[in-house]
Structure 1
Amino acid sequence: MSADSAPQRSNRTTRATERTRRVRRSAALAAGLAATALLVSACGSGGTSGGGGNTNFVTGTDGIATAAKGERTPAPDLSGKTIAGKTLDVADYKGKVVVLNVWGSWCNPCRAEAKYFAKVSKEYAGKGVQFVGINTRDTSTGAALAFEKDWGITYPSLYDPTGKLLLRFKKGTLNPQAIPSTLILDRNGKIAARSLSALSEERLLKMLKPVVDEK
């Protein structure tokens, strides 16, 4: 019996180790899927937003969600390297209205709205408005830089290939849940409005103007 017990114990140990490894792999996969779920592309049809429960925002029939001035939540830390390799912190723009656009060079609706963002960003440059992009799911900055050149985009974009910055937004707030998404931050760095689909110039201005006009 003693001659057989050592191999048996070894086999049991091996099986237990394999089970542990499988559990760990499953946990890691689940975590990866949870992160990816936030970045599900809205390309093609746009996203939908909600405002039920205890949230402090209301979504209009045009898909634009807004929060009243006294019921807004601060944007999370949005800082890092831009696609041009420079350091940027969105918090440095407090005192300005910030238009935050989540985009990818691979995304057809992002290309459709790019010309409007380029145009409006230039028109509002002297009106206390700063545009900032968050480029995501581009595996290198080359394609993103080419995208900006093609569409005449001159404002900076943070480089967020794995969506780490987007995961900093809390659930139940006006968070960017699709690509493209656009947020308007008020002069105090709080989220005033959100769209989860590509914007025309008219809809972009509809989001932006009320926040610019706030006193």
Structure 2
Amino acid sequence: MSPGGQVDIFYDPPPSRGRPGPIRGPDLLDPTRTVSLDDFAGQVVVVNVWGQWCGPCRTEMPELQRVYDATRSEGVAFLGIDVRDNNRQAAVDFIVDRKITFPSIYDPPMRTMIALGDKYPTTVIPSTIVFDRQHRVAAVFLRALLAEDLEPLVRRLAGEVAADSEAKP
């Protein structure tokens, strides 16, 4: 839980949003490849922290895939961070069995969470951090999400830059 017991935390207006340190690590499915938040420049990015051992993650992951499928053509990317899974194959099976198509960082010791520093809660699994197109933290969810919880926010954020671009001469 966050200070004050909040489980849904929003950072609005956009100028109030902060940026984390670098979020990157080895790709779960291809350990020779590094995946990074920076790989998704100019996109809204939904980062989900999960583990195959986590009961709520088993329900949430297909919901996230549904939102990813519905919004990726709008400039939305998803990135998982698999934590506390010392058995890589169990985590790979979790992703493959659920037909998850977005990448995940394999991070058993939770090193990527250090990038979030002390500004954002980092110990709740599952948790989801939603970044705007400038990779500022727009929202943090410290609970399992359903598609209807996440999709409206993601669509709103995807439209922010489009609205800004239309306003420029």
- What range describes the TM-score normalised by the shorter chain of this pair? 0.7 to 0.9
CA distance in 2, matches of 1:87, 1:122: 23
Runs of 4+ in 1 over 6 A off after TM superposition: none
Q: In the alignment, which of 16, 26, 39 is matched to residue 71 of structure 1? A: 16
Residue number in structure 2 paired with 1:20: none
Q: 1:185 aligns with which of 128, 131, 137?
A: 131
Give the superposed CA RMSD: 1.6
- Give CA-to-partner distance per residue, 1:139-195, whole Å, 9 cap, x none: 021011111112110110001100111122121x23433100001011111111010
Instruction: Indicate if the aligned counterparts of 2:71 and 2:155 stay in contact, CA closer than 8 A.
Output: no
Distance 2:16 2:41 in 1: 18
Aligned pairs for 1:1-215 within 5 A? 48-50=1-3, 63-68=7-12, 69-84=14-29, 85=31, 86-171=33-118, 173-215=119-161
Kept in 2: contact 1:180–1:196 (CA 8 A): yes
How many residues are matched?
Answer: 158
What TM-score do the two structures reach when normalised by structure 2?
Answer: 0.87
CA distance in 1, matches of 2:159, 2:132: 10
After superposition, the Cα gap between the structure-2 partners of 1:191 and 1:137, relative to the gap in structure 1 and judged at 3 Å, is: same
Q: CA deviation at 1:121?
A: 0.9
Where in structure 1 are there 5+ consecutive unaligned residues?
Answer: 1-47, 53-58
Q: Which runs of 5+ in 2 are unaligned?
A: 162-169
**SS of the counterpart of 1:130?**
strand
Larger Rg: 1
Counterpart residue type for residue 49 of structure 1: S
Shift of 1:93: 1.1
